[in-house]
Structure 1
Amino acid sequence: MALEITKTTMTATLNDKVIATGTRTPTGWHVTTWPTPLDRNAAITALSLAERIITHGEDDPCVIEWRRELAHG
C-alpha cells in the first residue's frame, strides 16, 4: 500500500489503484471508507484499515481491532 498525505488530502493506493481517500474539513477528516469525521491519526488508521480489509478480509484480528478503536475514538 502507498499512502500519500498532504495538509488537506490523504490517498491510499494498492497496486496503483486508489482504494480510499480522506479530505480535511473544518469538522475533521472525512474518509471515504468511514462514516464519521476523524482526527488526523484516526484518518490514517481508517486508510490502513481499508487496505487491510482488501488483503486480509473482514475477520482479520487487526481489522476487528482497528474498527473497534475507530468507533470508540
Structure 2
Amino acid sequence: MSLKITETTMTVTLDGKTIATATRTGAVWYVTTWPTPLDRNGAITALTLAQLVITHGEDDPCAIDLREELSRG
C-alpha cells in the first residue's frame, strides 16, 4: 500500500492500482469511497478504510471500527 498526500490531493494505491482518492475543496476533503465531506484526518482515515476493505474485507474488526469512527463525524 502506498499513500501519497499533497496539499490538495491524497491517493492510496495497492499493487500499482489506485484504490481511492481524496480532493480538497476549501477546508473539506471529498473521498471517492466516502459519501460525505471530511476534514483532513477523516480523509486519511477513509483512505485507510478503503485499503482495509480491499485487503481484509468488510467484516474486518479494524475496518468496522474505522467506519464507525467516520460515521460519528
Under a length normalisation based on structure 2, what TM-score does the superposition of the two structures give?
0.97
Q: CA RMSD in A?
A: 0.7
- Partners of 2:28 and 2:10 in 1: how far apart? 13
Question: Any stretches of 5+ residues in structure 2 without a counterpart?
Answer: none
Query: May I ask how many residue pairs the two structures share in their alignment?
Result: 73
TM-score between the two structures when normalised by the length of structure 1: 0.97
Segments of 5+ residues of structure 1 without an aligned counterpart are none
Q: 1:9 aligns to what? A: 9
- Among all aligned residue pairs of Structure 1 and Structure 2, give the percentage whose two residues are the same amino acid: 68
TM-fit CA distance, 1:27: 5.0
Cα deviation code 1:4-61 (max 9, x no counterpart): 0000000000001000000000250000000000000010010000000001001100
**Aligned 8 A contact 1:27 1:37 in 2:** no
